[in-house]
């Protein structure tokens, strides 16, 4: 297993907002959206920046993603960017961030304006507690599974970059899937030879450069996501291919959760579980039922409306014991995190390594494509 923690500092990239084209795009967005607050930088990559501001036009906080086309190799920009914009415009699901507008105010700049999710990334939420109790993991995993199922069945689209960083939480801690940079149209019979995504979440077929099913690759990434949500770590190193049998932190993952994870990350993609198998799994039905029962309670044992408390904080506040309204039976698990159990290679170390590699040769295994 591979430990993860919130990176201490973001990779340093050039400041694209100092360029005339960026200023031109920003001015356009400011005029159209009637921004009432300064645009705060939320994220920076080699190819884009994401900002937060309050829009008088939409009467809400919005996320403003400005993509710099000139920083993307032409072959990739021509192939992937139109797909991202098409899917971003099409999606309409409660667990996918809602796109408000897509505009191109400058030949080298594309702007995507979306609802702003104030809860931050699921990665940060998981890292805050060193892993989530299974009743909370089940609630969020259900929302992720529904989003993926919607993409596959309603839009015939594979996401191809499912990871904790691409899942945001709104003010009520509901999951919102984002970022369709590697998305493509697909069917269950489709075989893809574009080997893209994020390495720790990539199926063996992707890592070995074998033509793969995009849908099955999404479900594999969901399995890695579930493992990480519960344990706060990856089952393998960020540059390594998954190995079997999978190891788990002692006492942290129930037997039924292990069975579901292993059915999702199985090497043979034809045997890999999909939406139907997940929904019918023993862990999912039992744990989600308890999670939903807890959310149905209007007032928690702490005298606070459930919508206003963090269920995981409440869980840890009571020494790792789930409150009475969310108690799970037959799951003898401990979520107390002991530093002595954590490998020394942290997520922060990995991010530093990634940033150094990216500065030298571009994206390596943060987001990669061949």
CA 20, distance to chain mean position in Å, is 32
Beta strands in the chain (DSSP E): 2-3, 40-44, 48-55, 60-68, 99-106, 109-115, 157-158, 167-169, 175-177, 184-185, 196-197, 233-234, 368-369
According to DSSP, the residues that pair with 106 across neighbouring strands are 109
Report angle CA 222, 192, 82 to the nearest 5 degrees. 90
According to DSSP, the residues that pair with 369 across neighbouring strands are 196
Q: How far apart are CA 370 and CA 367, in angstroms?
A: 11
Nearest to 261 by CA among 250, 247, 241, 251: 247
According to DSSP, the residues that pair with 226 across neighbouring strands are none
Nearest to 134 by CA among 30, 239, 39, 253: 253
Nearest to 142 by CA among 90, 177, 181: 177
At residue 112, what are phi and psi to the nearest 5 degrees? -115, 120
Q: What own/partner pairs with CB < 8 Å and gap ≥ 24 does 209-214 have?
A: 209/370, 212/269, 213/188, 213/269, 214/158, 214/160, 214/184, 214/186, 214/190
Q: How far apart are CA 84 and CA 86, in angstroms?
A: 6
Neighbouring C-beta atoms of residue 64, cutoff 10 Å: 26
- Is residue 208 among the annotated active site residues? no
Residue tagged active-site, from 161, 218, 274, 306? 161
Q: How far apart are CA 159 and CA 168, in angstroms?
A: 15
Catalytic residue ranges = 161
């Amino acid at each position: 297993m591979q430990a993860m923690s919130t990176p201490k500092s973001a990779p340093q990239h050039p400041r694209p907002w100092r360029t005339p084209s960026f200023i031109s795009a920003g001015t356009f967005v400011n005029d159209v959206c009637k921004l009432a607050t300064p645009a705060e930088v939320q994220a920076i990559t080699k190819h884009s920046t994401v900002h937060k501001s309050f829009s008088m036009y939409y009467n809400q906080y919005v996320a403003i993603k400005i993509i710099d086309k000139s920083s993307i190799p032409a072959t990739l920009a021509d192939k992937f960017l139109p797909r991202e914009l098409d899917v971003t415009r099409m999606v309409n699901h409660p667990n996918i961030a809602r796109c408000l507008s897509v505009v191109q105010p400058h030949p080298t700049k594309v702007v995507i304006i979306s609802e702003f999710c104030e809860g931050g990334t699921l990665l940060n939420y998981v890292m805050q507690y060193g892993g989530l109790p299974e009743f909370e993991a089940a609630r969020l995993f259900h929302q992720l599974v529904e989003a993926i199922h919607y993409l596959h069945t309603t839009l015939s689209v594979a996401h191809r970059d499912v990871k904790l960083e691409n899942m945001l939480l709104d003010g009520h801690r509901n999951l919102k899937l984002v970022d369709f940079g590697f998305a493509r149209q697909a069917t269950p019979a489709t075989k893809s030879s574009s080997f893209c995504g994020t390495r720790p979440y990539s199926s063996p077929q992707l890592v070995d450069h074998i033509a793969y099913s995009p849908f099955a690759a999404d479900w594999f990434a969901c399995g890695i996501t579930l493992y990480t949500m519960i344990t706060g770590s990856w089952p393998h190193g960020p540059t390594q291919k998954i190995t079997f049998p999978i190891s788990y932190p002692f006492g942290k993952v129930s037997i039924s959760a292990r069975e579901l994870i292993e059915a999702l990350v199985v090497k043979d993609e034809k045997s890999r579980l999909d939406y139907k198998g997940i929904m019918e799994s023993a862990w999912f039905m039992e744990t989600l039922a308890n999670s939903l029962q807890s959310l149905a309670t209007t007032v928690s044992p702490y005298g606070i409306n459930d919508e206003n408390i963090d269920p995981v904080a409440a869980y840890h506040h009571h020494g790792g014991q789930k409150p009475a309204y969310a108690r799970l039976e037959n799951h003898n698990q401990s979520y107390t995190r002991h530093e002595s159990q954590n490998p020394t290679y942290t997520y922060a170390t990995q991010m530093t390594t990634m940033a150094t590699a990216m500065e030298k040769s571009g994206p390596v295994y943060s987001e990669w494509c061949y």
